[in-house]
Amino acid sequence: MGHRQGGACPPPQSPRQTPEAAASSLVRRALGLCRTLRGWPGEVLDRLSGIAWVGRYERHEQIMADDPQRRDVLVVASGCVAVDHVDAAGQRFLLSMYGPGDITSLIRLLTDAPFRFGFHAREPSTVVHIPCDAMTAVLDAHPILWKDLCLLMLARTHQSILLQQQRSSGQVTQMVADSVVQLARARGQDGAALAGGGVQVSQTELAAMLSVSRQTINKVLQGLQRAGLLTVRYGRLEGVDLPRLSRLAQGHGDGP
């Protein structure tokens, strides 16, 4: 079960608990490194640090498992957090992934929306939880900061619309290339080649994300491999050439 540390409410005692001062420092550092929040005034980040708390999660552990409807904004401090959906048959679908410096669960700032998706750790992860009501109060005191969140959500909406356009026009290769790039960046990778263990995603998960068959995903990935853009391994993609894949995702690349 995830360990909760720091924040406005006293965390439960645990022999593995980080001292409160260290947890507070971790929260402040994570907020300062978040791409969306790092340009905010220091006093605002300090206020958010005072209301936030730290959760530590093992691989595959569900986040907010005790209350799936809890309204927390999540900032990934380390590791990788996946957004998922479980259908009526109990099958889990991967929707997106976020890595260090990313913020997610912003939709939970809404007070009257049902939440039909959840979050789990793809690997051991440290996540900063910001309670939504308290965060809203901070934002309302600095209304210009809502603009940053609105622009982020507009960018993500544009990405979803682009994916739908690619799907409707049969541009599956571009869809796959774009998804791999986004998943790679969720691991904090923006360089020429993806280092470490590559992108940990199965062909079945990619197929579910893009609403296409596993056979289609396999065909596209094999083509990308022949073109030297990546290497397909069991449950992951290695040797990802991000610049070339990015160009291909935008319709300008030299793909298969």
pLDDT band at 1 (very low <50, low <70, confident <90, very high): low
pLDDT tens, residue by residue, 233-247: 888 888 888 888 888
Q: Is the pLDDT of residue 12 over 50?
A: no
Mean pLDDT of 130-141: 97
Query: Helix or strand or coil: residue 57?
Result: strand
Structure-model confidence comparison of residues 169 and 220, the more confident one: 220
- By the 10 Å C-beta count (0-12 exposed, 13-18 middle, 19+ buried), 168 is classed as exposed
Q: From CA 243, how far away is CA 193, in angstroms rounded?
A: 8
Q: Please tell me which of 106-115, 143-152, 186-195 the model is most confident about, judged by mean pLDDT.
A: 143-152
- Among the CATH numbers 1.10.10.10, 3.40.50.10860, 3.40.50.2000, 3.40.720.10, which is that of 171-250? 1.10.10.10
Which pLDDT score, from 0 to 100, does residue 8 have?
45
Residue ranges of domains in the chain? 20-167, 171-250
- By the 10 Å C-beta count (0-12 exposed, 13-18 middle, 19+ buried), 25 is classed as middle
Q: Is the pLDDT of residue 63 over 90?
A: yes
Mean pLDDT of 64-79: 92
| Cα radius of gyration (the chain) | 19
Half-sphere exposure of 152 (CA within 13 A, CB side): 15
Q: Is the pLDDT of residue 188 over 80?
A: no
Which pLDDT score, from 0 to 100, does residue 18 have?
47
Mean pLDDT of 53-67: 92
Contacts 24+ apart (CB under 8 A), 12-20: 18/54
CATH number of 20-167: 2.60.120.10
Find the Cα–Cα–Cα–Cα dihedral 16, 21, 27, 31, rounded to 10°: -160
Structure-model confidence comparison of residues 116 and 58, the more confident one: 58
Backbone region of residue 86 per phi and psi (left: phi > 0; alpha: psi in -120 to 50; beta: other values):
beta
Q: From CA 79, how far away is CA 54, in angstroms rounded?
A: 13
Q: Is the pLDDT of residue 228 over 50?
A: yes
Which pLDDT score, from 0 to 100, does residue 213 have?
87
DSSP 182: H
* pTM beyond 0.85, yes or no: no
Positive or negative CA dihedral for 161, 167, 173, 176?
positive
Task: With beta carbons less than 8 A apart as the criterion, state whether 112 and 77 touch.
Answer: no
Q: Is the pLDDT of residue 17 over 50?
A: no
Mean pLDDT of 106-112: 92
Least confident piece of the model among 15-19, 48-52, 60-64: 15-19
- pLDDT, mean over the chain: 83
Q: Is the pLDDT of residue 55 over 90?
A: yes
